[in-house]
Amino acid sequence: MHIHILGICGTFMGSLAILARAKGHKVTGSDANVYPPMSTLLENQGIELIEGYDPKQLEPAPDMVIIGNAMTRGNPCVEAVLEKGLPYTSGPQWLHDYILPERWVLAVAGTHGKTTTAGMLAWVLEDCGYKPGFLIGGVPGNFQVSAQLGESPFFVIEADEYDSAFFDKRSKFVHYSPRTLILNNLEFDHADIFDDLAAIQKQFHHLVRIVPGTGKIIMPDNDMNLKQTIGMGCWSEQEFTGETGDWQAKKLSNDSSHFEVFHKGERVGEVCWGLSGEHNMQNGLMAIVAAHHVGVLPADACEALDKFINARRRLELRGEVNQVSVYDDFAHHPTAILATLEALRSKVGGTARIIAVLEPRSNTMKMGISKDDIAPALGRADEVFLFQPPNIQWLVSDIAEHCVQPARWSTDLDTLVDMIAKEAQAGDHILIMSNGGFGGIHEKLLTKLAQPKDTDRQY
């Protein structure tokens, strides 16, 4: 078939394009902005990319148009597809119809940690010889691509609760039919499409409903929002992690980079890896439990995790200049901000200074839904710098006023960079948090830090 993908440069749609190409289809696609690294990754797979949405790209007519969830009515290509009666579908539906039949799907769902945990699980299966397929919303460090068909029945997928398309407002994950389901956690997020927590729980319960009776749902024992969701009805086997569950992880180092794994009170393995933070330790435990469901021994899974390399933008060290370290993280929700800062604090110790830099960029943050929780989440930082985007209806100064530590803000990115660089001292750790590119702030800051500091002139 000739498949044309609208919105191809998103991580999900780009991964889907790779799978379609691997199945032998001719794949083309378009996006508003075609740029690396996704454009390079796709072109290397032999996929033709078109910038913009001129309807001429639909001539001659493709056999199928896959429409990304960023596409809306009024988009020239969307209108042309509808006007001409071309066959179209959503990305998750295409996966359901053409990739996932007869596969043992291991899905990773939850508000936080999906990409990381899915990457861990895919790597454990790969390292243990299972040759899995996978689709992950990022490129795990142990792989060169974000998706592969694999050579076995097993398929790992990052199961997102965001909607599927403008014509299918169900969450993506209801299309995936998992046999093994990880539910990492559940909080209110995606305020642009969900009215409240109950609306998200309803979608999660749709996912729970389609797990077979012999399938397995893996979840922490202390998440009340998930417990409420499961309380709506569950027809599958359940396995819990945590103090009252069958599985526990107990840290052997302060930063959780070294921990033991216990199953029903018996020590079954030990992990010593390059990741930090209790949240990553719990993500790793989830991957171990899910892999166990398909036959991987916990000790083998632990050994694989020793070699795990996380996806980019997960507490990623971007550079060190004049003894100042600059990190990048995808954190875009108060819980994720807190977890990342705690991980960095446990890594660098209690006396090192941490400077937190935040861009409120996610749709939920832009709407101000979680605004009151941001200042407390930043509590482990010694200083805070906030960027005021031009397209939100509230002021980041409201957050600054509620921070317990010194907090400054700016509407201009270059000014913010100057402010941070002036404040930075040898031994500092600067953590930049955004779910976007943040205007290239990382390179700008590293360049600025390399320059001699301006001294106050005396007149």
- As annotated, the binding site for ATP includes 110-116
Count other C-beta atoms under 10 Å from residue 321's C-beta: 16
For 2, the token pair is 């000739």
Comparing C-alpha atoms, which of 279, 155, 262 is closest to residue 223?
279
Residue 81: C-alpha distances to residues 6, 77, 271, 387 (Å): 11, 6, 51, 40
**CA pair distance 303, 383, nearest whole angstrom:** 38
Q: Report the binding-site residues.
A: 110-116
Main-chain phi, psi angles of 255, to 5 degrees? -95, 10
Q: Which residue has the tokens 């053409």?
A: 98
Helix pair 334-348, 278-293: axis angle to 10 deg = 110
